[in-house]
Amino acid sequence: MPRRAVYTAHGMTPQELEANLASFLTQRLGAPVRVRGLERNTEGFSQETFSFDAELGAETRRYVAKREPVAGLLEPYDLEPEFRVLHGLAGADVLSPPTPWFTDDPRVLERPFYVMERLPGDVPLPTPGADGGGPFTPGERESLAPQIADALARLHAVDWRKRGFDFLGVPGAGRDAAARELARWEARIASAGFAPPPLLADALVWLRRNLPDAPEITLVHGDFRLGNWLVKQRGDSATLLGVLDWEMVHLGDPLEDLAWCSCELWRGGTPFAGAMIAPEAFAAAYASASGRSVDPIRMEFYRVLAVVKMITIMLTGIRAFNEGRTSDLRMAIFDHQLPFLFALLALARGWLSGG
Amino acid sequence: MLIPIERLIDGCVQTLREEVLPEVASRAVRGRVWAVLDVLNNLRDRVEEKVAAATTEADSARAALARLAAALRANADTNGAAAIESALACAPDEPPSARAASLRAALADAIAARPQGLAETEREALRAHLAGQVLRDVMLLKPSLLSEISKG
């Protein structure tokens, strides 16, 4: 039986993928390239991620290729806007991976993909550790939290007009940023084809009635959170080395990122924002780093929207699995992750409290 | 559950055949994997979802909808109350999963039909069911293996 299913879903073997990548890189770099050690990474549930080494003579460069999946969590897929942002962020002080190449030529890897440099560090996951705690030691938490807050502030300070990111769609003044985001996720709920359950229907009514004004429009990563940070952990301290997974990047309210990063989804079994520090302390660190005030009304809106977004992502994956467009069983596990999400939604909307 | 049991078993079979077996070198372990496949193939058409959970949800949802209809009548929303009473009358008796799904949809429709939000008495009519159902659903779950799934 050919060794291919995890790698390609269709025709190409890993050897063919390596050869095609080598040919692609040879053209881009203008020198013969050999590709070694192609490996499908396990962390990403959305796009397909491959790491590999490219040998140019005696030099070895480390790259990652991100490819559109056949089906998945954030349909419909379009890798090009994410590439354009990552490519356009070259030289910006935001810890994004240098991302030199993109192609939608299906002859190379069957589907559109881009290549980025592989940054050092590991990706701590937002899941409880064996001891029930999060992925960081107290010393790592203390040293990492201000770095994360600072990185988010720097990301929001990017001059998106100057870098030509208007193509992402510029929200109008007032409530438009919130309205556009809510509309984006409501459309995805409709596409998933499941009637919203009662708690989701309730959250959508509340979100529509409570759209907050955005006093400014910034670049918004969209998925800035534990699980998308490259970190060097040393036990007594930790260093943030990279910010990954920009596929939900857009222009909007910067507090959307802060609320997403702080919310219960990414606490790794701890009570802490990003498994680092108390959410209020993290908000204060971001406020200090960015010079922005953290409006609790906007934060509450984006906190509820965060859970709605995650439910929607899971519904989209379940639909793809139900329809047989993917055999990836990781989509199926969302069917029994959803109750946790609905519990969070019930908490956020006050259904589990006395009033 | 949003994924039918048959589809879940089909997914397990496909994963084992196409993704796991090609990576297994040991003949002894390959034999065990084939045995699992044989069990799953024969299980597929002989199992269905347990009815107890759906029955509990349906009973709870029916009571909540009745309370909501009463609250709406008390708030002079007779059309809203009538719509809920109609949905209650139309919900199928069997199977329990269809009854629960029908009443769940009626609840969602009743909430979505009030873009101004529920009045406090209407919200109280639903609280015991929505809170209870969330907790019942969570209680059924096994500890997550998400960390292992992500790390490989």
The CA distance from B93 to the nearest CA of chain A, in Å, is: 20
Structure confidence at residue A242 (pLDDT): 97
The answer to whether A200 contacts B108, with C-beta atoms less than 8 Å apart, is yes
Mean pLDDT of A318-338: 89
The answer to whether B134 contacts A343, with C-beta atoms less than 8 Å apart, is yes
Contact A25, A54 (CB under 8 A): yes
Residue A277 has phi, psi (to 5 degrees) of: -140, 170
The answer to whether A346 contacts B130, with C-beta atoms less than 8 Å apart, is yes
- Residues of A whose CB is below 8 A from B21: 1
Structure confidence at residue A33 (pLDDT): 96
Q: B117 in helix, strand or coil?
A: coil
Q: Which two tokens stand for residue B146?
A: 């998400």
Radius of gyration of chain A (CA): 20
Angle between helices A198-209 and A338-348 (to 10 degrees): 40
Q: Residue B128: pLDDT above 60?
A: yes
- Residues of B whose CB is below 8 A from A198: 104, 107-108, 111, 126, 130
Give pLDDT tens digits for A50-60.
999 999 999 99
Beta bridge partners of A239: A232
CA dist A259 and A307 (Å) reads: 10
CA angle A322, A327, A331 (to 5 degrees): 65
- Kindly state the helix (H) or strand (E) to which residue A38 belongs, with its residue range: strand A34-40
CA dist A267 and A227 (Å) reads: 10
Mean pLDDT of A156-183: 97
Q: pTM of the entire structure? A: 0.93
Give pLDDT tens digits for A87-109.
999 999 999 999 999 999 988 98
Structure confidence at residue A9 (pLDDT): 44
User: For residue B25, with 0-12 CB atoms within 10 Å meaning exposed, 13-18 middle and 19 or more buried, which class applies?
Assistant: exposed
Mean pLDDT of B122-127: 97
Question: Is the Cβ of A266 closer than 8 Å to some Cβ of chain B?
Answer: no
Which whole-number Å values give the CA distances from A298 to A172, A207, A215, A294, in the listed order? 17, 11, 10, 8
Q: How distant is the alpha carbon of residue A161 from its chain centre?
A: 22
Mean pLDDT of A322-333: 88
CA dist A87 and A97 (Å) reads: 9
Mean pLDDT of B71-85: 97
Contact B21, B33 (CB under 8 A): yes
The answer to whether A321 contacts B144, with C-beta atoms less than 8 Å apart, is no
- Residues of A whose CB is below 8 A from B146: 127, 333, 337
Contact A51, A63 (CB under 8 A): yes
- Kindly state the helix (H) or strand (E) to which residue B79 belongs, with its residue range: helix B78-90
Is the predicted ipTM greater than 0.85, yes or no? yes
Q: Residue A355: pLDDT above 60?
A: no
The answer to whether A198 contacts B22, with C-beta atoms less than 8 Å apart, is no
User: Where do we find the tokens 């302390």?
Assistant: A281
Q: Residue A47: pLDDT above 50?
A: yes
The CA distance from B99 to the nearest CA of chain A, in Å, is: 14
Residue A90 identity (one-letter amino acid)? A
Q: Which of B73, B103, B74, B109 has the alpha carbon at shortest distance from B88? A: B103
CA dist A94 and A286 (Å) reads: 15
- Residues of A whose CB is below 8 A from B23: 3
Structure confidence at residue A43 (pLDDT): 64
CA angle B77, A343, A42 (to 5 degrees): 135
